Structure 1
Amino acid sequence: MESTSVKNYFFYFASLVLIVAGIKAAAEIVIILFLAIFIASIISTFINFLEQKHIPKIIAYLFVLGGFVLLTILLGYVLNISLKDFISNLPQYEKQLQALVVKGVSFAETYGYEIDKNTILDALNLNSFFGITTNLIGSIGTFLSKFLLIIIGIAFILAEAKSFEKKLKVIFDKDRKKLEHFKLFSSNIQKYFSVKTATSFFTGFLVTIVLMYFDIEYPILWGVIAMLFNFVPVVGSIIAAIPAILLSLVSGDLNTTLVLIVLYVCINVGISNIIEPKFMGKELGLSPMVIFFSLILWGWVLGLVGMFLAVPITMTLKIAFDSDKSTKWLSILMSNIGNRK
């Protein structure tokens, strides 16, 4: 029996390797599929809400889907303009940062410290600091280039949602437990995506307002980046803060920079550690180790977009495991055991 069990585990592991390899080979198609499924899951929450307010389904469907399309196009337009202007001003920002470094070195030298100023200036390249931003916007550009396919996919998924539920009832007609497991899985998935999207939007909104208040350039651009990077735990909020902090620093106002750092920390810690757990529930927590390796795995498989999808994909798997008693142990292994009673 032990030999058979070991063989089964090797079989499952080999199957998993083949599945991951297949996903990597078909990354372009898989990204479209995953984005369509995740966005459809979020949009369906709004459609259900409108239906509960006795708004006809077709009107709710067209209103929410049309609103999403218009909002995405508008954001894409604003981001495109902001990014082009930002890149054109990069040489100026680099000169300002170099001047700031020279002042810092001169100040340190007055206290007897010897620093090779030329080495620092030669190594200093502002493009490297903002490289992640350019790559991110490039990924957004890829998303927009496949926008029509994603929208069509979302439209079909939403249109098939009700009939898919009927199909499941037919399939699991003699096994109500599996139907209940799927309903629990579907409910938790919608809950997770709805809360995560809402908190991410709230994060981006607060960051935009703060940057506007302190008159930091391109506040909408950095706000959208903060919203997107909220889907990448731990490192996401740090990376999202770097461009705005550096722009504040090159302006020469150290006090404003320090205040911005504190506000970024307060916004991200407050939303991630207080608001999200309150609305998601403790059962939807992931182990930090699982988060770390999921970022590496899905980043390797699907590229930069995979890093944003890593936690949603991993959370989907965890919720699926948690919905059935036979696989619940896998869910426990993936969870943050410190959050469990």
Structure 2
Amino acid sequence: MAETPAPIVRTGAWAIPRGLIVLLAVAAAVVAIGGVKAFSDILGPMLLALMLTVAVQPLQRRVQNRGLPPWLGMIVALLAVWSILIVLVGVLVVSAAQLATELPHYTDRVDDLLTGVRGALSDAGVNTEQIHAMLSGLDVNKFVGVLETVLRNLIGVFSNLFFVVALLLFMAIDGMTMSRRMAAVEQARPEIAYALNAFAIGTRKYLVVSTVFGLIVAVFDGLALWWMGVPLPLLWAVLSFITNYIPNIGFLIGLVPPALLALLDSGPVLMIWVIVVYCVINFLIQSVIQPKYVGDSVGLSVTVTFLSLVFWSWVLGPLGALLAVPLTLLMKALLLDIDPTTRWADALISDTGAKPAQRPEGMGAERSKGVGVESAERPGDTAPRG
């Protein structure tokens, strides 16, 4: 009788092929992105409230460091962020109402412009049928409605204002104990604490830089438009400020409405002057100077910043365009910074590939001298803890 062969026992863990791991990761990413896009109406305001909470968190911490009650810091932070939202939404709503009142008056002006275009084409030797074919697709109401569409999308970003305000309140309440929570996380999982600190620090730096340059651009644009006699200069100044948070192409989005209104109000000469002034002011500040400071503050290359704009705009709509850089920093923290074995990718997506400066006293957040900005140190970049 033949003996039954003994079963083969393999020692060691079963290794999944690397290609299969990549395919599973891609499939999981597609499912996750699809879920985020499907629930963008809810996730968008939640992410906006998160970014605003991260931005005002230092106010709460400073109040607590002075020995004052934590609830006082919560109130200070809430009043700061609520004031900003109320002022922005108020100016946009009032200005949009004024614009809606003024736009119907420009219908005849659009007809006159189209008549002038037909005459110019006829003088250039274009026959009547070709002129009709070229201009048949131009609808007067659609042409005037471009301005309304831009403002409607912009105000739609703040359409869930009550939801955002409620979330800010709850997050601010949780922020009163955030220092203790982060201390516990740092003790148990220093890698996770580093990643979250890096995200918060990069987000605050980006918001500070964008806000400062946005105010500069808004002041210059508003004064220039007022001096040139373009209607509603305050509205277009606020639009320049908001679109400054949109990387790379925010300047173009802020240019189109005032240029069209200048064309309708005073003709092509004023429109050309608006375009020239915006190109001189906004291109110099937003496209030349600001990206350098943004890249230095968040550590993202220009290409990654632009791709993040395209991706988050597709996923979350207009709100994704405004939050493209902070959301990219959040994904970077959760996917790269949280694991020391994947931090090599920072050299590929950063603007310089430089390694962040180290701090000799642990990885917690601390204020830099003279600027009040935090910095974080990577766990594992220094000697192991005892």
Normalised TM-score (structure 1) = 0.82
Map Cα deviations across residues 9-55 of structure 1 (whole Å, 9 max, x no partner): 22222221221122122222201210101112223355567778998
d(CA) in 1 for partners of 2:306, 2:292: 23
Out of 193, 200, 204, which is 1:190 matched to? 204
Q: Cα distance, 1:293 vs. partner?
A: 4.0
Is the counterpart of residue 220 in structure 1 residue 234 in structure 2? yes
Q: Does the C-alpha gap of structure 1 residues 179 and 285 become closer, same or farther in structure 2, counting only changes over 3 Å?
A: closer
d(CA) in 1 for partners of 2:79, 2:297: 34
Is the counterpart of residue 240 in structure 1 residue 254 in structure 2? yes
Residue 153 (structure 1) aligns with: 167
Map Cα deviations across residues 240-263 of structure 1 (whole Å, 9 max, x no partner): 211111221223354433332122
Is the counterpart of residue 42 in structure 1 residue 41 in structure 2? no
When structure 1 is superposed on structure 2, of 36-45 and 100-109 the one drifting more is 100-109
Calculate percent identity across the aligned residue pairs: 24
The answer (yes or no) to whether the contact 1:46–1:64 under 8 Å persists in 2 is: yes
d(CA) in 1 for partners of 2:147, 2:67: 43
Map Cα deviations across residues 219-259 of structure 1 (whole Å, 9 max, x no partner): 22222222222222333321221111122122335443333
What CA RMSD, in Å, does the superposition of the two structures yield over aligned residues? 3.4
Residue 249 (structure 1) aligns with: 263
Q: Cα distance, 1:212 vs. partner?
A: 1.6
Q: Greater helix share, 1 or 2?
A: 1
Out of 330, 334, 338, which is 2:349 matched to? 334
Is the counterpart of residue 33 in structure 1 residue 50 in structure 2? no
Residue 243 (structure 2) aligns with: 229
Out of 262, 276, 282, which is 1:262 matched to? 276
Residue 27 (structure 2) aligns with: 14
d(CA) in 2 for partners of 1:168, 1:293: 31
Residue 85 (structure 1) aligns with: 98
d(CA) in 1 for partners of 2:270, 2:68: 48
Residue 276 (structure 1) aligns with: 290
d(CA) in 2 for partners of 1:266, 1:3: 56
Q: Does the C-alpha gap of structure 1 residues 164 and 281 become closer, same or farther in structure 2, counting only changes over 3 Å?
A: same
Residue 203 (structure 1) aligns with: 217
d(CA) in 2 for partners of 1:168, 1:144: 30
Q: How many pairs does the alignment contain? A: 339
Normalised TM-score (structure 2) = 0.73
Q: Does the C-alpha gap of structure 1 residues 139 and 273 become closer, same or farther in structure 2, counting only changes over 3 Å?
A: closer
The answer (yes or no) to whether the contact 1:98–1:121 under 8 Å persists in 2 is: no
Map Cα deviations across residues 158-192 of structure 1 (whole Å, 9 max, x no partner): 33235223223223315545534433332222111
The answer (yes or no) to whether the contact 1:45–1:194 under 8 Å persists in 2 is: no
Q: Does the C-alpha gap of structure 1 residues 88 and 120 become closer, same or farther in structure 2, counting only changes over 3 Å?
A: farther
d(CA) in 1 for partners of 2:111, 2:249: 26
Is the counterpart of residue 100 in structure 1 residue 113 in structure 2? yes
Q: 3-state SS of the aligned residue for 1:256? A: helix
Larger radius of gyration: 2
Q: 3-state SS of the aligned residue for 1:276? A: helix
Q: Does the C-alpha gap of structure 1 residues 175 and 59 become closer, same or farther in structure 2, counting only changes over 3 Å?
A: closer
d(CA) in 2 for partners of 1:78, 1:246: 20
* Residue identity matched to 1:200: G
d(CA) in 2 for partners of 1:156, 1:93: 46
Map Cα deviations across residues 137-166 of structure 1 (whole Å, 9 max, x no partner): 334544544222211212222332352232
Q: 3-state SS of the aligned residue for 1:158? A: helix
